[in-house]
Amino acid sequence: MKVLMVMTSHEQLGDTGAKTGLWLEEFAAPYYALLDAGVELVLASPRGGQPPIDPSSEQAGALTDATRRFSEDEDAQELLAHTVRLDSVSSGDFDGTFYPGGHGPLWDLATDESSHELLERFISEEKPIAAVCHAPIVLKDLVNADGTSFLRGRRVTGFSDAEETMAGLAEVVPELLEDALVSRGAIYSKADVDFASHVVVDGLLVTGQNPASSGPAAEALIKILHQSTSDARSQGVAQ
């Protein structure tokens, strides 16, 4: 099995002068979940090279077992430092894709044409898509083969308006993720407690609400990949 992980290349937190980018836990937890499950991984970003890492995600309070493992893993650090350009990859080379969050995707991946085209190919090829925290913003303008909104009637989650307010960034971000999903007809849900893990699976779509959801979202994607592999083998035997 082979999965494409797509990271942001955006590092400016609006007009605040502060930095943003990839939230480290949302890369590290899925990365190791997929790697330990035997999945081959390719890392990509719009600009290629090292994605910016949100400095807040490297502070003591944000560190987890996965981020600590990453800090001691030179191979993983080297891989992340040399992501391929997103416009150089093809959906046909992968069994699924995973988009980690951080605030960065709200500025670049939300409207990135290469990401948009890639995801619509994944949809048409009936391959699973997973996105966590702010990364579900990449889904907002996707359409089905018949031209209807991909999100209409789909069950999803993502960083909530309440969580954005608690983070103090509701007036900084270009749009609130929860509002963007709901406005496209998605059926949005969230955990009963802010920042608690919450993962929603709707067919081949996996979404996670926040950093705590990133590992569980990867586990959900792995289940779908195994099921797809099993189904393919069954069909092969039947034929």
The pLDDT, as a whole number, for residue 228 is 76
Cα angle: 79, vertex 97, 107; to 5 degrees: 80
Q: Homologous superfamily of 2-238 in CATH? A: Class I glutamine amidotransferase (GATase) domain (3.40.50.880)
Are the CB atoms for 72 and 28 separated by under 8 Å? no
| Interatomic CA distance for residues 195 and 163, integer angstroms | 7
Give tens-digit pLDDT for 104-148. Answer: 999 999 999 999 999 999 999 999 999 999 999 999 999 988 999
| Interatomic CA distance for residues 38 and 203, integer angstroms | 23
Q: Quick one: how many helices (H) and strands (E) in the chain?
A: 7, 9
Phi and psi based region of residue 48 (left: phi greater than 0; alpha: psi -120 to 50; beta: remaining): left
- The single-letter DSSP state of residue 6 is E
Which amino acid appears at position 37 of this protein?
A: A
Measure CA 15 to chain center. 24
* Residues near 101 by beta carbon (within 8 Å), at least 6 away in sequence: 22, 23, 26, 131, 132, 133, 134, 135, 159, 211, 214
The pLDDT, as a whole number, for residue 239 is 53
Residues of the chain with pLDDT under 50: none
DSSP-assigned states of every residue in 209-223: -SGGGHHHHHHHHHH
The pLDDT, as a whole number, for residue 145 is 86
3-class secondary-structure state, position 21: coil
* Residues near 117 by beta carbon (within 8 Å), at least 6 away in sequence: none
Tokens of 125: 């090829």
H helices present in the chain, as ranges: 24-36, 65-71, 74-81, 113-124, 161-166, 177-183, 214-238
The pLDDT, as a whole number, for residue 156 is 98
pTM beyond 0.85: the answer is yes
| CA atoms within 13 A of residue 73's CA, in its CB half-sphere | 16
The pLDDT, as a whole number, for residue 196 is 98
| Interatomic CA distance for residues 171 and 149, integer angstroms | 27
Strand 2-6 vs strand 40-45: parallel, antiparallel, or unpaired? parallel
